[in-house]
Amino acid sequence: MSSPDGSIPRLGYGAANLGNLFRPLTDDEAWAVLDAAWDAGIRHFDTAPHYGLGLSERRLGAFLATKPRDEYFLSTKVGRLLRPNPDHEAGGLDTANDFHVPDDLQRVWDFSADGIRSSLDESRERLGIERIDLLYLHDPERHDLDLALAEALPALEKLRADDEIALIGVGSMVTDALTAVVRTAALDLIMVAGRYTLLEQPAAAEVLPACREKGTGIVAASVFNSGLLAQTEPRRDGRYEYGQLPEELWDRLVRISAICAAHDVPLPAAALQFPLQADEVRSVVVGGSRPAQLVQNVEYAAVSIPASLWQTLAAEGLIP
């Protein structure tokens, strides 16, 4: 399941759900999800301090501690430090950020060299794993993109130069930010979240060409568009981003679904494999809070898809 260049597995597990995203998981349930992912052959794991205020990193690290270090690829993120929350009250939860965990900590933005270094060290401690393969700057545009370009990216480049980290990158849902960071720094990979999917491809205009020009690889995340593409039969009341699905995207989704059905290809299989049709995309990362979802995603990744499906979608103007 390695990528074409062999450096990163083609299918990864995005571990936001391990941080109790949208619903709480017990430690045993989280372990069962990771067990299912591992048994199905997934060897690429992505996490972040943001996910459950460190809970995702702790749970993932505890699981991976039982596996040989050379058998998996691990990424986490920097930019948000976790610090005591002075406003925490007993029973308070981080549900404002969609995580069902106590809000005894708060996220503090820090793009300085010292902040980036501290974030890496603290992630290593939570994970209990010294070697992190890939370090992303997380959502830079949500804080200060100019500061990210001026301070955070050079700090990442220095960590790589000092052999602290093998690969560096940026993760974002905003195409302008992704284009800017690719053009500014010598990044190995970027995580494009929800902007290069079977349903919509805004990253195709500038992000992919910039990556092609600079030799930067792409990890595609949120490829199911908040779950819209995760079911064989799409639902009109499905969540899009954080609200209702716009009418024009629903019409587009219906057309895509019909073409997939005509080619006898499950919609989620096409959604999972679509980004990998682009040479710049090295890997696809998918989430999941139940073992069956992980097993299903590995099966979708292995579905044989005829070239005629992509040709038809392109001829209809639905993909580039």
Active site residues: 51
Cα–Cα distance list, 315 to 166, 171, 195, 311, 318 (Å) = 40, 31, 21, 6, 8
Residue type, 268: P
> At which residue do the structure tokens 């902040």 appear?
115
